[in-house]
A and B are shown apart, each in its own frame.
Chain A
């Protein structure tokens, strides 16, 4: 049986456009609002990534750090992320949800319990920032057993030999990190170069859905629209921060931002 993730990508391909993936942090700015945000942006997004925040996120830049801190300060607990997914899936039964976070959170929750709660709440895939290949082999297997996608990451520093091995162990989706940067960095590599690297991955296995993330905003998204999918995260976190500061409703703000992002890649 095809996974929700696979189906989502196929649907986009049929419409001849890349999939739009959003990233927001669970419980940012609070539990209720973060669900409202998801419900609203999912009208435009093809897959939604939900971050479970960690206090020391070494791969994240300022925007996602701010969102993570806000969520933790507001009392985020791991069980909240599953509640949010469960409620989200009531409204969007087939929209794939991908959880993203750091390994210590999964480790403390217990790998098996984490996987089983993912399954129960309707999560489709998992990205673990600091559990790279081959360290992730066992956990990735555990996920696959429960037909959860463990999403492997590739970066500009990944050698070709390593790439082959990682792709071999990957499931339906692969995440390509556009440049040497934490999340939210300014795109310092030309879209042409990024797409060249992207094509290298696709040549190794054309069947895998490869998404590009890091440094993608309303300004850069159009130049990368030939990819299978594009992830926007920090820009959305920043929008939440800005709207809170300006006493605006983050839900309507994000709705608009994601709508505009989608229009740029249609």
Chain B
């Protein structure tokens, strides 16, 4: 199969019978025990997507609970300061969950209810996924278990407190690097042992094919809103538009881009920004921009940081939410087809971007979207004034207040 994007079909549906995009990325590399639950989930999801009542319910919660649409604003001061392209932000973090994770948590909980399951479990890195699932699960009357590496529990305490407040059980993961990658493994193990009663939620567009699809289906709301907002602001889709998004697993980036993939890349450029880690360190969490090899992790084939033997490699990033050795098969596909390009920003660049943006503007991006802002800041001065750069500010910085305080000496919300 050639690596080509089909027009008019959502990217999440462009996989083959084996659940692979371009015959190369994704798939279902899972233990036998999970075949049936995944098969059931695939059937249920494809039925629900055509179910008017389900869609109505989804839209009801997106509107009345998330508060759709989230703001799309021009960052005037930053634009003037940089003196080049106009810089805009889609402030997705302006929702009760303060991150884009709220979309897939709602959709997953609606699915769990339809499947008759009363328990949900998930992995979390920065704690945004955990916090949102805890919040939504409580709303829907579902019991919730969150797997989180103890290193992340330490550095993202604020979110842990919120998860517990919503009644979720936070399970500390002590294996391996004690970060997101191990949290996902432990969550999958828990599902293997409890798949008859528990609905598993994966925090991003990673994992077996169906989880990539559900996550991407949910976050697509972001670009549906943005498309309308672009028409409202400009009367048309701008002729020079750049959509910048941080990429860890890649769920917010996919959701931010999905409506725009069919456009010509000369009109709408899609730029993914991975976590480059500390300037002083060789470690990173950026498999796409470092040309990592294809590998299999958590049920999917994708570019993955690993050694020559296939052992998953160590990653490093100040932002827990981007600290993952692999990436969504959707982004591998977008990279290899040339539709999107990927770069990385270092911890230091992200911190500086956070500082500049939060000082100049009335928004406060977390360290994850600060990576995308870092790239926007370096790009904007080189571009013409009629170029529109839009950054997805997909998470709020409050969860990072301790890290920011320790690195910059201060934190103001």
Interface, chain A (partner B; CB < 8 A): 54-61, 65, 69, 72, 77-78, 102-105, 107-109, 129-133, 135, 153-159, 162, 177, 180-182, 185
Contacts and interface: CB of A to CB of B under 8 A. Distances in A.
24 contacts: A54-B311, A55-B312, A56-B181, A56-B298, A61-B189, A72-B311, A103-B296, A104-B310, A104-B312, A107-B294, A107-B296, A108-B306, A130-B29, A130-B31, A130-B299, A135-B18, A153-B32, A155-B35, A157-B37, A157-B196, A180-B194, A181-B192, A181-B193, A182-B193
A198 to B, nearest CB: 15
Contact of B27 (A65, A135, A157, A182): A135
Contacts of B193: 180-182, 185
A125 B296 CA distance: 22
Contacts of A72: 311
**Is chain A's binding surface mostly helix, strand, loop or mixed?**
loop
A105 B161 CA distance: 39
A180 B296 contact: no
B32 A180 contact: no
A12 B197 CA distance: 39
Given A104-B295, A130-B30, A55 B35 contact: no
A158 B39 CA distance: 11
Contact of A55 (B28, B34, B188, B311): B311
B192 A59 contact: yes
Contacts of B310: 54, 78, 104-105, 107-109
B77 interface: no
Contacts of B298: 56, 58
A56 B295 contact: no
Interface residues of B, number: 37
Contacts of B37: 157
Contacts of B309: 77-78, 105, 108-109
Interface string B168-191: 000000011000011001001100
A33 B344 CA distance: 44
A148 B270 CA distance: 47
Interface string B299-317: 1000000101111100000
Contacts of A109: 309-310
Contacts of B27: 135
B31 A132 contact: yes
Contact of B32 (A57, A65, A78, A132): A132
B297 interface: yes
Interface of B: 18, 27-37, 175-176, 181-182, 185, 188-189, 192-196, 293-299, 306, 308-312
B192 A58 contact: yes
Contacts of A157: 32-37, 195-196
B285 to A, nearest CB: 15
B1 to A, nearest CB: 16
A170 to B, nearest CB: 12
A108 B29 contact: no
Contacts of A132: 28, 30-32, 35
Nearest to B299: A130
A181 B192 CA distance: 6
B189 A56 contact: no
Given A158-B36, A180-B193, A180-B195, A104 B297 contact: yes
A158 B32 contact: yes
A158 B312 contact: no
Nearest to B188: A58
Contacts of B297: 56, 104
B35 A158 contact: yes
A56 B32 contact: no
Nearest to B36: A157
Contacts of B196: 157, 180
Given A72-B311, A109-B310, A180-B195, A103 B32 contact: no
Contacts of A77: 309
Nearest to B182: A56
